[in-house]
Amino acid sequence: MPSISLTRHLIEEQRLGHVTPDLRLLLEVVARACKRISVAVGKGALGDVLGEAGGADGSINIQGEAQKKLDVISNEILLEANAWGGHLAACASEEMEHSQQIPDAFPRGNYLLVFDPLDGSSNIDINASVGTIFSVLRCPEGVSAAEDHDFLQAGSTQVAAGYCLYGPSTMLVLTIGHGTHGFTLDREQGSFVLTGPHMRIPEQTREFAINMSNQRHWEAPTQAYVADLLAGKDGPRGQDFNMRWVAAMVGDVHRILTRGGIFIYPWDRKDPAKPGKLRLMYEANPMAMLVEQAGGAASTGRERILDIPPTSLHQRVPVFLGSKEEVETATRYHRQHD
């Protein structure tokens, strides 16, 4: 059986009418940018890529987080790679306050690209897994100069979503609405090879992922749900649960796509102005589409993530995603409480 490259996979999807030629080429450009980010991440201490951006004073992004050099490098790689392709109208990123139109020097296309250029960036300096998350939306009809509000479309309208995991191997995981498929970067050939066709998340699980250090800040139903997981065999769930936390959503979601589990970043009282840590447009929505396309579920604890009408580019939401039955159980705890 010959190996199937990302290029061949996308051409076959185009023949089936699942993807337009423009979207296919756009996804190739994003994959190319991810290869460049993978090279930059892989240099580690041998390249000038570790540590904080902005010199001694550091630099704070629009999220209020200290930016790492690789946050900035990855953002620039994605912007540069996508500027001249002709498939995009505009880009929006975790690292930029406002969306950015394609420069006038280049033709504009019909899609909007949203990305978290480097996810889990606190893992960079300890040489642990990080990733890139992306989402593709259609530019609203008749809009020639897309602005921030043109991006505010529910996750259910995404035409593609994916992530690239920079771990022991580099993997691109992609959906165009016809299943979720995983590709491994063949570093010698320089191409992504299909290694995980039609990924499926087991509906049940005994593994959860949450940052337990925030426990005291959670609301009552989240406390009750996690307490029952921790109670194990002797509690109401009647079985032991294992816990894992990569501290990069890409790593946690990849584990869940591989062997099941539930990933939780709930609302907490630490900063009442923020309804959760994770961002709807470039973290929750693309991951929710990938997870649903693999037979899993994604909820805020009360509603389906993909149904949320966004109100701002950097909006945050609570996230419960992964194995379907477990996400439904967690959601039941929250709905019963209301």
What residues contact 295, with CB distance under 8 A and at least 6 apart? Answer: 200, 201, 203, 324
Find how far residue 97's CA is from the centre of its chain.
19
Q: Which of the stretches 3-11, 34-42, 216-224, 246-254 binds ligand AHG when contact is defined by CB under 6 A?
A: 246-254
Alpha helix ranges (H) inside the chain? 6-15, 21-43, 69-83, 220-231, 249-259, 285-293, 324-337
121 annotated as ligand-binding: yes
* Interface with ligand AHG, residue 116, by CB under 6 A: yes
- Selected from 204, 211, 239, 242, the binder of ligand AHG by CB under 6 A is 211
Cβ-closest position to ligand AHG:
249
- Selected from 165, 248, 264, 284, the binder of ligand AHG by CB under 6 A is 248
- Report the relative pairing of strands 207-209 and 100-101 from DSSP bridges: unpaired
Half-sphere exposure of residue 13, counting CA atoms within 13 Å on the CB side?
Answer: 26
- Report the relative pairing of strands 88-93 and 111-119 from DSSP bridges: parallel
* Interface with ligand AHG, residue 65, by CB under 6 A: yes
Q: In terms of CB distance, is 82 or 132 closer to Mn ion?
A: 132
- Selected from 38, 121, 153, 285, the binder of ligand AHG by CB under 6 A is 121
* Distance of closest approach, residue 101 Cβ to ligand AHG, in angstroms: 23
* Interface with ligand AHG, residue 114, by CB under 6 A: no
Contact of 120 with 263, CB cutoff 8 Å: no
Interacting positions 77-96 with ligand AHG (CB under 6 A): 94
Side by side, the strands of the sheet bearing 191-196 are: 100-101, 88-93, 111-119, 130-138, 160-166, 170-175, 180-186, 191-196
Q: In terms of CB distance, is 218 or 282 closer to Mn ion?
A: 282
Residue 69's nearest CA partner among 185, 77, 217 is 77
* Distance of closest approach, residue 131 Cβ to ligand AHG, in angstroms: 8
Q: Please state, in angstroms and rounded to a whole number, the distance separating the CA atoms of residues 129 and 31.
A: 18
- Selected from 39, 128, 230, 247, the binder of ligand AHG by CB under 6 A is 247
∠ CA 137-327-159 to the nearest 5 degrees?
15
Q: Which of the stretches 105-113, 150-158, 229-237, 245-253 binds ligand AHG when contact is defined by CB under 6 A?
A: 245-253
* Interface with ligand AHG, residue 268, by CB under 6 A: no
- Selected from 85, 109, 120, 155, the binder of ligand AHG by CB under 6 A is 120
* Interface with ligand AHG, residue 199, by CB under 6 A: no
Residues that bind Mn ion (CB under 5 A): 65, 94, 116, 118-119
Half-sphere exposure of residue 152, counting CA atoms within 13 Å on the CB side?
Answer: 11
Binding partner of residue 87 among ligand AHG, Mn ion, none, CB under 5 to 8 Å per kind? none
What residues contact 9, with CB distance under 8 A and at least 6 apart? Answer: 181, 183, 194
Q: Which of the stretches 118-126, 135-143, 144-152, 267-275 binds ligand AHG when contact is defined by CB under 6 A?
A: 118-126
Residues in the chain: 338
Residue positions forming the annotated binding site: 94, 116, 118-122, 211, 277, 283
- The binding site for ligand AHG (CB under 6 A) comprises 65, 94, 116, 119-121, 211, 247-249, 265, 277
Residue positions forming the annotated binding site for substrate: 119-122, 211, 277
